[in-house]
Structure 1
């Protein structure tokens, strides 16, 4: 406590002196702003406990009643799916449904649509991304969606990437919450201003994606922990929520840094990140919806941070449960099969 008080006093003195220093050194080249920013996070943003976070997540889960109509619990869009990659958008979209969303749409390339449709009749599949008027076609669906996942199985075709960049601009204009993963992160790495400052965004990089995006943003890893770099990444993107996937996932909006201490599974099969991204979109919709109607339930925790934490925690628990049964044979379909039991035990009131 004494150390915290001492840092607070020092910080207050520094803030009082800052205008004088800036006037004396017009270029401010003698002031370590990174140090001040880090100190500000440490002093002013005390992270809530895991117990508090989980209770806030439980508060945003909408109760199931007989008075609800289709769509109230979430209409989720997934932008992704190409000839080579059809599983990823399916995993994201079906995970959203299994978590509790009412409708799941997949917007994909023409060749991917029949395959994705064959996986499940419960998904609404739109074969539009490689059409000349894809952006215009997408515009009619944007008002109907509550949250959108961008990237699973998208591929890296330049024309489609360009189309999706335009769609992101339309989604931002409509203030839709976004979850960006996989090839969506590749697109952001090539064009970081695309999401900079749009705080209703969660990005979910793995270790390689995190490294590439760090380099694109000019962040140094020298003498920095993963927590520091993740917070710096969020700060460089002006508040975008970063959910770095690793043994213990890191969640930050640059103001607070949380760590998901759930063990998960040593089996790292493909598709687990797609489950996470689909779940994050649903939680994001629920959190934003409850912030506007019942703000006291989540208090000052960023809805994006809350949603990312919930999705990471859920996916880790699903991985743990499925691995206990299937061991080395565990696949993402097994994880999806655990969503109901994990959610009921961990998140239901």
Structure 2
């Protein structure tokens, strides 16, 4: 699996240092960064450039990047004004300023510029903003209030590149242009970063290292992971899945999961629900086969007439999801254990109440939830667990760490100890694998997904992809991505999250699948782009 890197400030600095040690001149990195950023501004904001561009430069290398951007824009005839909050102090920034100076007009913005570039502070800054940078940030804010588009270089000044903390006085960007790697803080503060564009500055060829940096899936991977659907495919070849849950009064969870599984391409979907929920499933998802919970283990192998399923139904399922609306009763717990034991060789998704029950049984036995999960699913060849923060805390037996470094480490350690793939839902979503490999981050989504039933929808997509042969990690990452992208498309279409429901997300799924199957070809110098969440 190829991936772009999501780095902390320290990891980003280490990668720059490694490239320089490998023979890449530090000024060449700055020149490439500024030139590629200028090319993007020329291409994407051409209609606004007739009013000129105002640039703000700090004293460090982020300011040096701004000098290069200014010089390259001036070379093609754009009117530029550059305000230096302080004189450059690094050797590369001084060199950039001297090379750019003949083409620049120095001074604060005239007020008519429609594009303003924030190059005041970079990834090395932490803590409060201080003068004279604070005063310069106020000018950037005034420009934004006046309708200017704010373009930040690497990070908006005052946003911590590692933690996403935002200092007082920091101005939100409409777009943030990242150099070489996406900075982790941007994904933790998407609303402040705006549109995120990762630019190629030559690091990929010079640095190949695993240093704990998160991975961001390469868009080209999705088309490779997803199995093609042959023109003459029939339902038996598109994957048969079973979704178990739907306790009395909670049929909606299985309905959402089943609909999502079918929308993800499953050929057949069996909704195994509590008897009172069968009719709701049949009426709402007529494409699914609605069957009641088996009351005895023998019914799994030899279903009786009352079950409503043809003989061997579950034996022929390619993947199984348990948990949506399952309930937390003793009967639910017995059903969960029976299903896992009887269908132990099938790819499995555990979600919602199934995770609560796993933690409950572990607590009752006085054992660790990860160890219990490992023992319980030891015969399963593929298991994906999809907790939200509260469910993960229950599995851990402790609060989930608020610091993202520690949170990611806790998720990775739990995945290793339990032997399953862990998908921690949230903003962003993190995926950890049982081999202890790098965390994969999925940054997509909007508040449209912050509603009941969203997780059930995600589980349905994952189980469908497992049933089509995807490995657990790929299924989890792909499902979370299409889920989030559908929410982004729906939010953009209706102009915001209010007024939308999961139904609007379902309506956007076809377009989201096309984005994964036929990834966008980015312009030269652009590696990946994440849309603004607003």
TM-score range, shorter chain: 0.7 to 0.9
Deviation of 1:59 (Å): 1.4
Q: Indicate which of 380, 390, 413 corresponds to 1:208.
A: 390
Please say if 1:105 is aligned against 2:270.
yes
Question: Paired residue for 1:335?
Answer: 505
Q: Indicate which of 153, 163, 170 corresponds to 2:325.
A: 153
Question: Paired residue for 2:279?
Answer: 114
Please say if 1:280 is aligned against 2:450.
no
Using structure 2 for the length normalisation, give the TM-score. 0.50
Q: Deviations over 1:111-153 (max 9, x none)?
A: 1101111112111100134568544439822331111111001
Once the two structures are superposed, the pairs formed by residues 1-349 of structure 1 within 5 Å of their partners are 43=210, 49-51=216-218, 54-130=219-295, 134-136=299-301, 137=303, 140-172=312-344, 175-191=345-361, 192=372, 193-195=375-377, 198-215=380-397, 221=401, 225-238=406-419, 240-253=420-433, 254-265=436-447, 268-288=450-470, 303-324=471-492, 325=494, 327-348=497-518
Are the equivalent residues in 2 in contact too, given 1:82–1:153 (CA < 8 A)?
Answer: yes
Deviation of 1:50 (Å): 2.2
Structure with the bigger RCO (C-alpha within 8 Å, sep 6+) is 1
- Distance (whole Å) between structure 1 residues aligned to residue 278 and residue 500 of structure 2: 26
SS in 2 for 1:242: strand
Q: Deviations over 1:144-167 (max 9, x none)?
A: 111111100111221232122111
Higher strand share: 2
Cα 1:263–1:122 shift into 2, 3 Å: closer
CA RMSD of aligned residues (A): 2.8
Deviation of 1:267 (Å): 5.5
Cα 1:149–1:264 shift into 2, 3 Å: same
Are the equivalent residues in 2 in contact too, given 1:219–1:229 (CA < 8 A)?
Answer: no
Are the equivalent residues in 2 in contact too, given 1:264–1:315 (CA < 8 A)?
Answer: no
Moved more, 190-199 or 263-272: 190-199
Are the equivalent residues in 2 in contact too, given 1:248–1:260 (CA < 8 A)?
Answer: yes
The unaligned stretches of length 5 or more in structure 2 are 1-13, 19-208, 304-308, 362-371, 520-534
Are the equivalent residues in 2 in contact too, given 1:196–1:237 (CA < 8 A)?
Answer: no
Are the equivalent residues in 1 in contact too, given 2:389–2:426 (CA < 8 A)?
Answer: yes
- Distance (whole Å) between structure 1 residues aligned to residue 480 and residue 217 of structure 2: 13
SS in 1 for 2:498: helix
Using structure 1 for the length normalisation, give the TM-score. 0.75
Q: Deviations over 1:296-346 (max 9, x none)?
A: xxxxxxx21111011111111112222332732222222112111110122
Q: Deviations over 1:164-214 (max 9, x none)?
A: 211111111xx2101111111112213433235745100000010010001
Are the equivalent residues in 2 in contact too, given 1:252–1:258 (CA < 8 A)?
Answer: yes
- Distance (whole Å) between structure 2 residues aligned to residue 124 and residue 176 of structure 1: 19
Q: Deviations over 1:212-248 (max 9, x none)?
A: 0011xx899598611101001101102x000000100
Cα 1:105–1:266 shift into 2, 3 Å: closer
Are the equivalent residues in 2 in contact too, given 1:197–1:237 (CA < 8 A)?
Answer: no
Deviation of 1:272 (Å): 0.8
SS in 1 for 2:237: coil
Q: Deviations over 1:21-74 (max 9, x none)?
A: xxxxxxxxxxxxxxxxxxxxx9598865521xx323211323233332222111
- Distance (whole Å) between structure 2 residues aligned to residue 119 and residue 263 of structure 1: 26
Answer with 1 or 2: which has the greater Rg: 2
